[in-house]
Structure 1
Amino acid sequence: MKHILSLLLMLICSITATAQQATWIWYPGDFEIWLGNDMQNRRTERETFYPVFWKMDSHYPLVDFHKEVDLTAPEEVSIYVEGRYNVRIDGKAFEGAPSKITIPAGKHWINIKIFNQAFVPAVYISGRTVFSDNTWLVTPEDKEWIDETGKASDISATKWLHSGSWNFNKPETPPSAFRLPVSPASAVSVSSHSKGRIVDFGKETFGFIKLHGVNGSGKVNLYYGESREEALDIQHAETLDRLSFHQSEKRDTVLSLSKAFRYVNVETDNEVQVDSISMLYEYAGVKERGNFRCSDEELNSIYDVAKYTFRLATREFFIDGIKRDRWVWSGDAYQSYLMNYYLFYDNETVQRTILALRGKDPVTSHINTILDYTFYWFMGIYDYYLYTGDETFIKQFYPRMKTLMEYCLGRRNKNGLVEGMSGDWVFIDWADGLSKKGELSFEQLLFCRSLETMTLCADIAGEKKDAETYRQYAAELRARLFPLYWSDSKQALVHSRVNGMQTSNVTRYANMFAIFFEYFDQQQKSAVKKSVLLNDNIQKITTPYMRFYELEALCAMGEQAYVLKEMKSYWGGMLKLGATSFWELYDPSVSGPAHYAMYGRPFGKSLCHAWGASPLYLLGKYYLGVKPESPGYKTYTVQPVLGGLEWMEGTVPVPEGDIKMYCSKKEIKITTISGTGTLRLQSTIKPTCAQAIAESKGGNTYELTLQPGKTYVVNYRAVK
């Protein structure tokens, strides 16, 4: 009896485990493209639909799902489908559209072909041992044909990929039903004015407005503002809702389109009343794994606001800003990936964003139509592999990388360099008077790193011939960069070449990227730090977007003390002006309502922009000092730099868990999780550690080897 009960228990556990493994599956990248189309076309400006600037692709409407099985006994499986479908076993179709089928014992191949024009063709299959997961293969074209005898061809020419999935693990929650979660939130204050009331939610937020106790017939107008000034300016507020009601009793109404705001100006006519206003806060359910705290409370506040800014801009994808665009821009997303690795370590959002940006073939323009944004797309894949070690993603989508690179290679000029051509937007940065003409050094650097990315990815995909081709392209371009752009008199890379000649203009962009790309030798780095990065005569950067890279370059050269002052001045300057999230652009020389103006509009600037959250990345990588040295943190370094702080502590997420550390001027404490690490530190005495031996590397530099799953306490004396 005990034996029978044990077998029953094992069977129940097996069925439960199997049910937990089943998930909705689709053609890889299709759900991401469909969801991107849906999200990015919600943008409105003053109730007017505002579509994106670039070509939008779509999902495949007809997809074949395939799986080979070998069963020891017949098995019944349940089938849930989004779309019209048929089911075949060994090429023989079942009648109708069965919700359950029995698969005979033995070896069989199953095909489910689904058509859905409106949503992504998707399937959920649940059985004891047969269930839908990413081991199922999919194709949008099975290349099957029938000869005159009725015999079906084989499908050996078909290109099968592993299916895509996310976290839709229940049959009643199909991909098409996906919505971000919401939670109720109340206003912190309400004040009256001559035409209505202004509702303040206390800080920048995002979600759906809820009107309570609406009664009567008439109009209710809502004007949203990231600032109070914007909400009260009914002629220039970027977003608004105009509603009409005809109600004989009080009812609550939730608006159908989410908005970004802190303030809502509510104006009603005399025939309609609204008792009160609240909201449903909409958010992405990602968990924070990274953290940072230190002896400087202002820096702690900067970190907290950066964290909140990034959380608001993390939605279905990593988007730019929550008020205006709400689009997926590749340059913005690239920085979000890096910040994500030090806060959420949410690789699924990285994958979705990369796939939504790429779309499908044929390639007819640069990503977002921007030359540099295509290169950021490649660079994002380079970093994704470094931080995660995920080779499967690279192998699956290498063909899309290759066709995009073929497009780039085909748009080089007669000198073999990239420059803006008809239809290209050369962005670089928002900066007054920044020339975009000719062959820009900045674009060549990004192109070179993109070719290096393709070399890496081709090797992973097993395309050795491609890898060698890209390796040669990258080496040739890198060898040309300095003869073409380096100026001995300027001790820097010049901004551009026009008509085959160097221009005299020097900007920060190419020079700072060449530092953390490791394209400069040590002598060139030192020269550029003095002649460009610390030179006030070089045009200053006013966007957090490029301050990200400028401060990274300085950190990479050991200037954390200087960068700390810059962070406190720049991001702290926004906090002093009352910012509750960080902005798209901040110019300390501007005052008053002019801070809100951009694009020729008084409130055009985004006051919550993802690229404003860069302290998350800088503090994790260059102060806590944790970074991968090989894919997936199999090897990594920890090189803490206080930069003027008395102490700091934090957590950095890695694939197998979190690295935790504390650092003061006398003690470093590190708890490891996996991989082999190297603690590198500067000390005026030889460090002591009971768990490891410090080895001198010359001067005041020492290194200790960190093994997985251990805690190390190191006593040392920090170099001033």
Structure 2
Amino acid sequence: MKNYLAFLLLFLCVLAARAVAQELSSSGLSGSGLPPIFDNSYDAQRDSRVRQYLSPKRIVWMSDRSGASVVDASNLLRKGTGQADLVHRNFAKLISKDGETPGILFDFGKEIQGGIQIVTDQPANQKPIRIRIRLGESVSEAMSDIDTIQGATNDHAMRDFTIQVPWLGVMQVGNSGFRFARIDLVDADRELQLKEVRAIFEYRDIPYLGSFNSSDERLNTIWNTGAYTVHLNMQEYLWDGIKRDRLVWVGDMHPEVMTINTVFGKNEVVAKSLDQARDITPLPGWMNGISAYSMWWVLIHRDLYKNQGDLQYLRKQQKYLVALLDQLMEKTKDNKENLDGTRFLDWPSSENPKGIHAGLHAMMIMTLEAGAELCQILDEPAQATRCKTMATQMKMYVPDANGSKQAAALMALAGLMPAEKANTDVIAVGDCERFSTFYGYYMLQAKAKAKDYTGALNCIRSYWGGMLDMGATTFWEDFDLAWTKNAAPIDELVPDGKDDIHGDFGAYCYKKLRHSLCHGWASGPTSWLSEHVLGMSIVEAGCKTIRIEPNLGDLQWVEGTYPTPMGVVKIRHEKQADGTVKSKIDAPKGVKVLR
């Protein structure tokens, strides 16, 4: 009897819950889909990002510090609510008179992707008022005008614009990558009462499953900065940069995807971006017009499958992959790469045609070997054999790297030359000179293959750490340590006699202030440190079998985590007095650990 009554009570509760759910759904309060006033003709898409509002960390500059035209600016450093009110206190004033146009420059502490929220108060004149907003990845960019001298632009994202703001209201505007924002009152003889100025931070709210912590805080910061750089670029698609270009560049994606695998694990933005590149590039086209970028697409899929083991997704690439491999094999002559389209490795190597040829030849071998692996998995044995045979034949020709660190790194990774020779003769020459933020990752990989872990760690500290020394909170599109010799950091007004590290340098498509200071291809140290120092490598697809082989170099200890489809692997290594390393590894069920 008791069981019957309990069952009856449970049944009645289920019926009641269903009735409530149906009532909520019919009233448009269920929390899913569009409100019922919209019909099925609306093509609505959910945005997978969230937004947070950030108050400024500090005021870098004001046009007037006497209190005449900029009044109570410190009130804008208070934590905001985003709501106008009738209290009429704790606000700042910008007053334009006698031809003055007052302004304030804000620092939000870290680079973000998003816009600006302006909350106004209630001056006597109730008409809308014009203000100018300038967003910048550096102080100098936020203080600049769009011109042909310093290279400031509105390319790809508006970062310099004039808008109207309401009386006693809220205005939200902007969509760019920035850390600094300057606001100027444009209208003459007006008073702007600002209750709040907040940054609108748009990002994917995803956990950092991977981690890296060691006895060297500089390396820890570099690992985290690389992770954050890619996180910012994980918008609706996986971008190269959040200010410029905000596009899916497939070559840029390879180091980004390696970082995503290391930090976040599986994420929809990767497949979405890879598929977009495939779908808008029917063969015989090259992705982004660059033959190497179609090869990177193959290499990304190989590395993605190794990490995730998602055969169902890989099969969706089968038809395109097999045809692309055919096309690549047709672009050879006498067992040498003979690729058309734009011939490109990265920008710093772009004026070295012999180096580009050597790098593309090595990339072709790497791609065909990766293609053979994938075709074997996809039950395409004939194509796998063709790829292996072609790669073997191409290895009979060894081109000259012509002093290119980019080409030497790829040749070492492709097995075209001993890694030790590539490192000693080319990559290690001048230490971190002629590194690049993109191909620096492959230079580090070649150094690891040559067992030069000390040299690699020193370059990470010096080269990527050099950006941190210049005030960076994200890693840049390009960087040269020589730029830092007489330069002011990006978070200061540039004093007389000092170089503007953002406005005075750069080349090719990133001249001066057009230079992106948040570029995902620069995140290489993040995955490299987890792979080679923490020692995490994948033996069997989907992380079913992993190998842990740490290389601590001069570190006393290192610990961290790595996400797998079965859960997070936890690792800690400690160097003992006799130089040996004691390790503790905690792997989830389903993950076999080799040491």
TM-score (norm 1): 0.64
The correspondence of residues 112-127 of structure 1 with structure 2, limited to 5 A, is: 119=43
Q: Does the 8 Å CA contact 1:559/1:643 hold for their aligned counterparts?
A: no
The correspondence of residues 147-166 of structure 1 with structure 2, limited to 5 A, is: none
Give the letter aligned to residue 193 of structure 1: S
Query: Going by fraction, where is helix more abundant, 1 or 2?
Result: 2
Q: Does the 8 Å CA contact 1:319/1:326 hold for their aligned counterparts?
A: yes
Give the letter aligned to residue 242 of structure 1: F
C-alpha change, 1:178 and 1:600, in structure 2 (3 Å) is closer
Give the letter aligned to residue 280 of structure 1: I
Which residue does 1:152 correspond to in 2? none
In structure 1, how many angstroms separate the alpha carbons of the residues matched to 2:411 and 2:146?
46
Q: Does the 8 Å CA contact 2:355/2:404 hold for their aligned counterparts?
A: no
Q: 1:456 aligns with which of 368, 373, 386?
A: 373
Q: State the Cα distance separating 1:245 from its structure 2 match.
A: 2.9
In structure 1, how many angstroms separate the alpha carbons of the residues matched to 2:335 and 2:464?
40
Task: Give the SS at the match of 2:482.
Answer: coil
Which residue does 1:296 correspond to in 2? 216
Which residue does 1:307 correspond to in 2? 227
Residue by residue over 1:303-339, the C-alpha shift from the partner in whole angstroms, topping out at 9 and shown as x without a partner, is 2322222221222232111111111111111111111
C-alpha change, 1:584 and 1:7, in structure 2 (3 Å) is farther
C-alpha change, 1:378 and 1:600, in structure 2 (3 Å) is closer
In structure 1, how many angstroms separate the alpha carbons of the residues matched to 2:255 and 2:15?
43
The answer to whether the aligner puts 1:623 opposite 2:533 as a matched pair is yes
In structure 1, how many angstroms separate the alpha carbons of the residues matched to 2:515 and 2:17?
51
Which residue does 1:253 correspond to in 2? 171
The answer to whether the aligner puts 1:426 opposite 2:343 as a matched pair is yes
Which residue does 2:385 correspond to in 1? 471
C-alpha change, 1:640 and 1:244, in structure 2 (3 Å) is closer
Task: Give the SS at the match of 1:234.
Answer: coil
The answer to whether the aligner puts 1:638 opposite 2:548 as a matched pair is yes
Q: State the Cα distance separating 1:186 from its structure 2 match.
A: 0.7
In structure 1, how many angstroms separate the alpha carbons of the residues matched to 2:589 and 2:409?
32
The correspondence of residues 508-527 of structure 1 with structure 2, limited to 5 A, is: 508-517=405-414, 519=415, 524-527=418-421
Residue by residue over 1:270-302, the C-alpha shift from the partner in whole angstroms, topping out at 9 and shown as x without a partner, is 336251311221011221101111111222222
C-alpha change, 1:558 and 1:600, in structure 2 (3 Å) is closer
C-alpha change, 1:651 and 1:506, in structure 2 (3 Å) is same
Q: State the Cα distance separating 1:439 from its structure 2 match.
A: 8.0
Q: 1:593 aligns with which of 478, 495, 500?
A: 500
Which residue does 1:46 correspond to in 2? none
Task: Give the SS at the match of 1:431.
Answer: helix
Which residue does 1:575 correspond to in 2? 468
C-alpha change, 1:308 and 1:507, in structure 2 (3 Å) is same
The answer to whether the aligner puts 1:602 opposite 2:512 as a matched pair is yes
Q: State the Cα distance separating 1:363 from its structure 2 match.
A: 2.3
In structure 1, how many angstroms separate the alpha carbons of the residues matched to 2:387 and 2:377?
18
In structure 2, how many angstroms separate the alpha carbons of the residues matched to 1:542 and 1:531?
15
Q: State the Cα distance separating 1:376 from its structure 2 match.
A: 0.4
Q: State the Cα distance separating 1:427 from its structure 2 match.
A: 1.6
Q: Does the 8 Å CA contact 2:358/2:411 hold for their aligned counterparts?
A: no
Which residue does 1:230 correspond to in 2? 141
Residue by residue over 1:185-231, the C-alpha shift from the partner in whole angstroms, topping out at 9 and shown as x without a partner, is 11112331164111211221121211111753442111111111111
Unaligned 5+ residue runs, structure 2?
A: 22-31, 65-100, 488-498, 577-581
Q: State the Cα distance separating 1:179 from its structure 2 match.
A: 4.9
Give the letter aligned to residue 548 of structure 1: Y
In structure 2, how many angstroms separate the alpha carbons of the residues matched to 1:415 and 1:15?
76
Q: State the Cα distance separating 1:436 from its structure 2 match.
A: 3.1
Query: Going by fraction, where is strand more abundant, 1 or 2?
Result: 1
The correspondence of residues 34-49 of structure 1 with structure 2, limited to 5 A, is: none
Which residue does 1:193 correspond to in 2? 63
The answer to whether the aligner puts 1:183 opposite 2:52 as a matched pair is yes
Q: 1:243 aligns with which of 142, 145, 162?
A: 162
The answer to whether the aligner puts 1:6 opposite 2:7 as a matched pair is yes
In structure 1, how many angstroms separate the alpha carbons of the residues matched to 2:8 and 2:543?
42
In structure 2, how many angstroms separate the alpha carbons of the residues matched to 1:442 and 1:11?
70
Deviates more, 1:193-202 or 1:470-479: 470-479
Which residue does 2:560 correspond to in 1? 650
In structure 2, how many angstroms separate the alpha carbons of the residues matched to 1:458 and 1:574?
41
Q: 2:404 aligns with which of 498, 507, 516?
A: 507
Give the letter aligned to residue 253 of structure 1: M
The answer to whether the aligner puts 1:494 opposite 2:400 as a matched pair is yes
Q: Does the 8 Å CA contact 1:181/1:285 hold for their aligned counterparts?
A: yes
The correspondence of residues 267-416 of structure 1 with structure 2, limited to 5 A, is: 267-268=184-185, 269-270=187-188, 271=190, 273-275=192-194, 276-359=196-279, 362-410=282-330, 412-415=331-334
Task: Give the SS at the match of 1:471.
Answer: helix
The correspondence of residues 91-102 of structure 1 with structure 2, limited to 5 A, is: none
Q: 1:265 aligns with which of 169, 175, 182?
A: 182
Task: Give the SS at the match of 1:323.
Answer: coil
In structure 2, how many angstroms separate the alpha carbons of the residues matched to 1:447 and 1:533?
21
Q: 1:220 aligns with which of 125, 131, 138?
A: 131
C-alpha change, 1:610 and 1:679, in structure 2 (3 Å) is same
In structure 2, how many angstroms separate the alpha carbons of the residues matched to 1:431 and 1:244?
39
Q: Does the 8 Å CA contact 1:449/1:474 hold for their aligned counterparts?
A: no
Q: Does the 8 Å CA contact 1:219/1:272 hold for their aligned counterparts?
A: no
In structure 2, how many angstroms separate the alpha carbons of the residues matched to 1:366 and 1:589?
35
C-alpha change, 1:4 and 1:225, in structure 2 (3 Å) is same
Give the letter aligned to residue 479 of structure 2: Y
Q: Does the 8 Å CA contact 2:135/2:182 hold for their aligned counterparts?
A: yes
The answer to whether the aligner puts 1:554 opposite 2:447 as a matched pair is yes
The answer to whether the aligner puts 1:659 opposite 2:569 as a matched pair is yes
Residue by residue over 1:136-166, the C-alpha shift from the partner in whole angstroms, topping out at 9 and shown as x without a partner, is xxxxxxxxxxxxxxxxxxxxxxxxxxxxxxx
Residue by residue over 1:591-643, the C-alpha shift from the partner in whole angstroms, topping out at 9 and shown as x without a partner, is 42144443374201111111222221011100010111111122110001111
In structure 2, how many angstroms separate the alpha carbons of the residues matched to 1:295 and 1:14?
59
Deviates more, 1:429-438 or 1:180-189: 429-438
The correspondence of residues 671-710 of structure 1 with structure 2, limited to 5 A, is: 671-675=586-590, 677-680=592-595
In structure 1, how many angstroms separate the alpha carbons of the residues matched to 2:127 and 2:169?
10
C-alpha change, 1:371 and 1:14, in structure 2 (3 Å) is farther
TM-score (norm 2): 0.77
Unaligned 5+ residue runs, structure 1?
A: 21-79, 83-98, 100-113, 120-173, 486-492, 496-504, 681-720
Larger RCO: 1 or 2 (CA < 8 Å, sep 6+): 2
Q: State the Cα distance separating 1:243 from its structure 2 match.
A: 3.4
In structure 1, how many angstroms separate the alpha carbons of the residues matched to 2:422 and 2:357?
18
Give the letter aligned to residue 225 of structure 1: G
In structure 1, how many angstroms separate the alpha carbons of the residues matched to 2:308 and 2:522?
24
